Structure 1
Amino acid sequence: MAMHPDRRKWAIALTVIIPTFIEVMDTSVVNVSLPHIQGSLNAGLDEVTWVLTSYLVSNAIIIPITGWLASLFGRRNYLLFSIVVFTLSSVLCGAAPSLEVLVVARVLQGLGGGGLQPLSQAILLETFPVREHGVAMAVFGMGVVFAPILGPVLGGFITDNWSWRWVFYINVPMGFLAVFMAGLFVHDPPYIRTRTVRIDHWGLALLTVGLGCLQVVLDKGEREDWFASHFIVTLSVIAVVALAAFIVVELRVPHPVVNLRVFRDPTFAAGNITMFTGYFCLFGSIVLLPLYLQNLMGYTALWAGLVLGPGGLASLMIMPVAGMIMKRGVPPNRLLAVGLTLAAVALGLMSRLNLQADFFSAAWPRIVQALGMGLFFVPLSAATYVNIPREHMGNATGIFNLLRNLGGSFGVAFSTTVLSQRSQWHQNTLVDRLTPYDLPFRQAMDKMLALMGGDWSSFYDRKLALAGIYRETLRQATMMAFNDTFWLFTWFTAALIPLTLVMRGPQKPTTVVMEP
């Protein structure tokens, strides 16, 4: 007996969300396990970070060509293949006897998992009718947004109570369930079954080299002191040349591996710019806030997690609400403008944090930001594809998800770099005033000596007092650097609000030309 259409669409939604959730979670679940992996496999710090980098590189390469691969092999076959490769490589990761085997297994895991996000999004957009795209993207967004929040918590718990190897083994039962459900519920639309595909060798090669080098630069740049490193400079040049050549090739060949002509649609172009910059600010700030709490405020990892936790719950609560509001006819760009405004306000609040901030003062901006991002992801995902024909949906979702991931990577690299540079600048500025001729400095010395029970006549007492003042100076300089970085993210987010005016809804079909 045939399944009712409403039940079928929700069965398909559950089918594609399960593998997507575990794939996204794997981008962050391993982070807290790195020290244990390092000790277990006798690896150095720089060596063990390739466990993260290898996954991100292979993931980034696959995401934009997902639509092409689905056309080549069939969407259902490629989905099943991706889940199987991801699951089996997870077993290999858990059983890895050496770091070299683990890195190779992570590359395979990234290659298998890279297509799951764009495939899931494309399948959901085709399964749900247009008026329910907001609901579909709310379901997708709950998995994509909550997974990286849950990842470090789950990874820490498993590593502490069992072993780091179980961080990978937990993917296996969910992978088998996903394979069973995908085989049962997912089927190819007619246009994918009948379409012929030619291989764009040059485009594929240039994309692989360009994105691979770019992801390594973003992941390793801060650790290698950016362009002071010959390694980073070399990879940066290769990435720029390869990606520039890739764009030229893709706009000229008749059957590109990534169809960049979708950017002729202004709504799609504006949506991708907004997604890249939005995740640039989101991931940059998510990295900064725990550092602020633990390094400056003395929070433990648990308490820092408790500050971030309510934000994750707020996003989970607001996303279904956003989907239902859009289903009632509210234009997505209006919700998007509200979401961006809330996110900008939240970042502005973070830029005003000081060393006397209490728990609520730190948690409240994160809650506001999470509400804003819930009203950001759902309407943006629904509005971006409104003029994209179904036969190009896989290509479009691949580009969209690539820019989302790259936005996060750029945001993390930007935030850590600006934080470091502004800390040095503020430190130099404050230290210039630490002289005996400066009245506030003498008053601070008097207070420190009084607290210590010392006096000016003792060289040892003055040295201890000066050390205490210098430590506080470093804290103040770092605090102001955090404030500066949050303030930059505030303006980057606010600058996106005018773009919502471009995303006004469906245009005439003739306005979007996909083929040369």
Structure 2
Amino acid sequence: MTAKAPGKWLITLSVMLPTMIEVLDTSVANVALEHIQGSLSAGQDEVTWVLTSYLVANAVVIPMSGWLSRMMGRKRYLVASVALFTLSSLLCGAATNLMQIILFRVMQGIGGGGLQPVSQAILLETFPAKQRGMAMAIFGLGVVMGPIFGPLVGGWITDTWSWRWIFYINLPFGILAFYMCSAFVQDPPYLKRAKKGEEVDVLGLALLSVGIGCLQIVLDRGQQDDWFASTNITVMSIIAVSALSFLVWWELRHKNPVLDLRIFKSGSFSIGCVVMFLGFFAFFGSIVLLPMFLQGLMGYTALLAGLVLGPSGAVVFIFMPIAGKLTERIDARWILSFGLLLCSYSLYLMAGFNLNIDFFSAALPRAIQGAAMPFFFVALSYLTFAYVKNNQMNNASALYNLLRNLGGSFGTAFVTTLLARRAQYHQNILTEHMTPLNPIYQLRLSEIQQALTAKLGPLSDHLEEARAFLYQELMKEANALAFNDAFYIQCLIFLCLVGGVWFMKKPPIKVDEE
């Protein structure tokens, strides 16, 4: 289906509007947790379920979106999702206790889960094969910029008005999206609706819900609960692995599966999904780490940290359409390789951070990463879907977006765990040198004692205060080295992915459409 120019852009705006607000909502509530906790009189551990409940519901629905589109009709499912997302946003803002907001966040996650894959499928079908790179550039603006701007928007709204407005702000956009999707989006003739009386894959639905739901909880709460030292995490991990393993076996044998895994027979699609998973694994890890480094170790305020992160959003906005146009003229594998190398270089610079870096040194690698992500995301999406036929697009998009989201979740869990483990390792190494036998340590200790004596007076030798100060400095240095390790591993991941790109098929000049 190729729409005429006016219709093409109206459809694009119709599907991207709800997608952008849904992506923002995956991270916008993070900075408002303390305000929600105080307002609803919730415990610190309890209030994190405001985030977890949304992520779990979202993760469960994403892979089902292709099947739900076939059962309900894609337009009907899209409009229903927008309506549910908008209504639940209103209810989240009006919640009066913790249980209510968790319930409404589950509803919001269910409504929002299908928006990304369905929007991507519609865009890929709406644009001609030659312009699919531009379609993915438009889609990428929402997907890549959401995690960047979500915390900034959430913090500004919370400080300016209240935490309830991070949900209320969705209402005008949701209503407009509901009207536009109803008016401009149509189901294509080749999209086959489920036949009346067709067998529903009930077991597949159950396995998918349980497996993905448990997996997302494990990833979101694993580090907080000390991973497999927690009985709950261990049990949920076993359930997730068992359910998902059985799901693969079951879906490959079912006539009308919830997830049609046979599409992984396509080599380019399979490689593209792996690259996307690992790419977002490393990308989300750096998004989590950089603010922690700046605010936790460098002492940056939230505003100053935002100024370091913010310009990358503008860079993404500039380069996304450029990357889209380049796919029409250059083999997308070269564009993707360039994006991966640039991502790797940005993380290499971050791996060289120390506790004395200036503002420019902190902002430059983030800006380079902002320039790299459009070439990575647009070219990879273009290559991955190059040989996917239109009647398979819903299912392919659901799987692709599932692996992208899981990559981000795995990446976040990995770097937070790695950071804690490596900080402990470096602390142990550095502590070995804090002995009276080390002349450098003794010299530094003496200098601090003299400085404290000059400031506080000679009534005490201030030895204990000097040792405490040095230990605090050691802890900061150990944590800084742990951040370096985490950034370096992410750098290597992007570098290794370059080789996999060239196992993907060269994109065709024309894609067969059905």
TM-score, length basis structure 2? 0.96
Q: Percent identity?
A: 50
**Secondary structure of 2:211 counterpart:** helix
Q: Is the counterpart of residue 6 in structure 1 residue 9 in structure 2?
A: no
Q: CA deviation at 1:503?
A: 2.0
Residue pair 2:37, 2:47 contacting (<8 A) in 1 also: yes
Alpha-carbon distance in 2 for matches of 1:111, 1:88: 12
Give 2:498's aligned residue.
Answer: 497
Q: 2:156 and 2:398 mapped to 1: Cα distance?
A: 33
Which residue type is aligned with residue 83 of structure 1? Answer: V
- Give the Cα–Cα distance (whole angstroms) in 2 for the partners of residues 87 and 139 of structure 1: 22
Matched letter for residue 231 of structure 2: H
Match of 1:305 in 2: 306
- Distance (whole Å) between structure 2 residues aligned to residue 102 and residue 28 of structure 1: 16
SS in 1 for 2:429: helix
Query: Contact 2:29–2:51 (CA<8 Å) still a contact in 1?
Result: yes
Moved more, 191-200 or 427-436: 191-200
Q: Distance in 2 between matches of 1:508 and 1:234?
A: 50
Cα distance in 2 for residues equivalent to 1:223 and 1:459: 41
CA contact (8 A) 1:27 1:56 kept: yes
**Following TM superposition, by how much is the alpha carbon of 1:255 offset from its aligned partner in structure 2, in angstroms?**
1.3
**Structure-2 separation of matches of 1:43 and 1:226:** 24
When residues 371 and 509 of structure 1 are mapped into structure 2, their CA distance, relative to the original with a 3 A threshold, is: closer
Cα 1:187/1:510, change in 2 over 3 Å: closer
Inter-partner Cα distance in structure 1 for 2:438 and 2:90:
63
Q: Secondary structure at the match of 1:354?
A: coil
Provide the aligned C-alpha RMSD in A. Answer: 1.9
Paired residues of 2:387 and 2:511 also in contact (CA < 8 A): no
Tell me which residue corresponds to 2:391: 391
Name which of structure 1's ranges 4-13 and 346-355 shifts more when overlaid on structure 2. 4-13
Distance 2:308 2:138 in 1: 25
Give the partner amino acid of 1:278.
Answer: G
Match of 1:185 in 2: 184
CA shift for structure 1 position 63: 0.3
* Counterpart mapping for 1:22-61 below 5 A: 22-61=21-60
Structure 1 residues 292, 389: closer, same or farther in 2, change over 3 A?
same
For 1:169-210, what per-residue CA distance to the aligned partner results, in whole angstroms no more than 9, with x for missing partners?
111111110111111110001122555353111111001000
Distance 1:506 1:145, change over 3 A: closer
Q: Deviations over 1:347-368 (max 9, x none)?
A: 1110011111000111111111
Measured against aligned partners, the alpha-carbon deviations of 1:363-414 in whole angstroms (never above 9, x if no partner) come to 1111111111111001111110111111110000000111111100111110
- Looking at structure 2, the residues matched to 398 and 281 of structure 1 have their Cα atoms a distance apart, in angstroms, of 21
State whether structure 2 residue 417 is matched by structure 1 residue 444: no
Query: Structure 1 residues 193, 241: closer, same or farther in 2, change over 3 A?
Result: closer
Residue aligning to 2:433? 433
Query: Cα distance 1:4–1:256, how it changes in 2: closer, same or farther (>3 A)?
Result: closer
- Give, in angstroms, the shift of residue 234 of structure 1: 0.7
Match of 1:202 in 2: 203
Tell me the residue number matched to 1:222: 223
Partner secondary structure for residue 252 of structure 2 = helix
Residue number in structure 1 paired with 2:256:
255
Distance 1:87 1:230 in 2: 37
Equivalent residues of 1:315, 1:371 under 8 A apart: yes
Distance, in Å, in 1 between the alignment partners of 2:155 and 2:338 is 35
Q: For residue 506 of structure 1, report the CA deviation from its aligned partner.
A: 4.5
Q: 1:17 and 1:120 mapped to 2: Cα distance?
A: 7
1:268-291, CA deviations, whole angstroms, 9 ceiling, x for partnerless residues? Answer: 011000100010001101111111
Alignment of 1:128-277 (within 5 A): 128-196=127-195, 198-277=199-278
CA distance in 2: counterparts of 1:362 and 1:300, whole angstroms:
14
Local SS of the residue matching 1:253 = coil
Is the partner of 2:466 in helix, strand or coil?
helix
Deviations 1:108-145 (A, max 9, x none): 11001100000000000000001000110001101111
The runs of 5 or more residues in structure 1 that have no matched partner are 512-516
**Secondary structure class of the residue paired with 1:252:** coil
Conserved 8 A contact 2:386-2:511: no
Letter in 1 for 2:491: T
Q: Work out whether residues 331 and 507 of structure 2, in 8 Å CA contact, stay in contact via their aligned partners in 1.
A: no
CA distance in 2, matches of 1:453, 1:417: 40
* Counterparts of 1:212 and 1:460, CA distance in 2: 58
Do the aligned residues in 2 keep the contact of 1:387 with 1:509 (CA within 8 Å)?
no
Instruction: Render the CA deviation track for 1:278-326: whole Å, top value 9, x for unaligned.
Output: 1000110111111111111111111011101111111111111001111
Separation in 2, partners of 1:87, 1:369: 33
Contact 2:130-2:509 at 8 Å conserved across structures: no
Paired letter, 2:418: V
Q: Within 5 Å, give how 1:101-112 maps onto structure 2.
A: 101-112=100-111
Q: Does the 8 Å contact 1:62/1:115 carry over to 2?
A: yes
Could you say which residue in structure 2 is the equivalent of 1:514?
A: none
Q: Could you say which residue in structure 1 is the equivalent of 2:61?
A: 62
The answer to whether residue 335 in structure 2 is matched with residue 335 in structure 1 is yes
Distance in 1 (CA, whole Å) between partners of 2:511 and 2:121 is 22
Change (3 A) 1:298 1:489: same
Does the 8 A contact of 1:203 with 1:250 survive in 2?
A: yes
- What is the deviation of 1:449? 2.2
What is the deviation of 1:148? 2.2
CA contact (8 A) 1:32 1:155 kept: yes
Residue equivalent to 1:353: 353
Aligned to 2:99: 100
Say whether the 8 Å CA contact 2:73–2:193 is kept in structure 1: no
Indicate the SS of the match to 1:24: helix
- Measured in 2, the distance between the counterparts of 1:408 and 1:94 equals 27
Residue 510 of structure 1 and its aligned partner are, at CA, apart by 13
Pairs aligned (count): 507
The residue type equivalent to 2:374 in the other structure is G
Query: What's the offset of the Cα at 1:254?
Result: 1.6
1:115 matched to 2:114? The reply is yes
Is 1:280 paired with 2:281? yes
Unaligned runs of 5+ in 2: none
Aligned-residue offset at 1:504: 2.7
**Separation in structure 1 between the aligned mates of residue 78 and residue 49 of structure 2, nearest angstrom:** 27
Tell me how far apart the structure 1 counterparts of residues 141 and 510 of structure 2 sit (CA, whole Å): 31
- For 2:504 and 2:485, the matched residues in 1 are separated by 31
Cα separation, 2, equivalents of 1:507 and 1:160: 50
Deviation of residue 447 (structure 1)? 2.1
